[in-house]
Structure 1
Amino acid sequence: MTNLEGRVILRRGAITPPEGVRSDLEVIAGLGREAGLAITFETEPEAVFEELRRASAGGRRLRGDLYQRIADEKGVFWPCPTDTTNPGHPACCFADTFDTPDGRARFVVPVYAGPAEATAMRRTRCT
């Protein structure tokens, strides 16, 4: 997880779940299997982190072998270069430019389109 200050941290379970309770990653992997998808979803947090790290390899993102560093150092700042000793950049990531071709931010005004499906909500009165 990346918090508001730009620190990439690991979120760990507070307690051991009861027998038979699946993690979010296991639920997502199960949905993929049930949907008949040709890809396999990872269920181990470190493998998912590595996949996200590889996907963000371009530009100023997470690079290097960071998972153990994040665990040991209680987080590193994003972006973090490949240097395994660099703590990252704790300053505002977008103080000067944004990660777009011209360096400028993109603002989009959302247009409310209503619900995708009709709801079956029943109105009741409180007495």
Structure 2
Amino acid sequence: MKGYLIIASLFAALAILFGAFGSHALKERLSAQSLEVYDIATRYLMFHALGIFLIALLGFQQPKESLEIPVIMMIGGTSVFSGSLYLIAMLDFKKLGMVTPIGGLLLIVSWLLLAYNTYKTL
């Protein structure tokens, strides 16, 4: 679980860094729509950094095996969802819009698995 705490901390730090970069450096360079997409990516990155942090802390209370799949799915889902949105916003690479829902689906399933596994083990 230590590794997941590190990943969560890095995701949170990146969310703060990207948020500051977006509000200062990108405000004049991106369209309003691209800035909104960028902001969504940043919000989801922070929300799920906290989710990964929560799962890592739960690892001290319940069997780690029940948390492995949800946390890996959340890390992957966050990377795919936010990463694709960042690329869409900054590079106008709209074809990545087909990839974004895969990241969203991974995030949804990770939360549902977390709920199920927690219910089952606690």
- Larger CA Rg, structure 1 vs 2: 1
Same fold (TM over 0.5): no
Relative to its length, the structure with more helix (as a share) is 2
Q: TM-score by structure 2 length?
A: 0.30
Q: TM-score by structure 1 length?
A: 0.29
Q: Which has the higher contact order (CA 8 A, sep 6+)?
A: 2
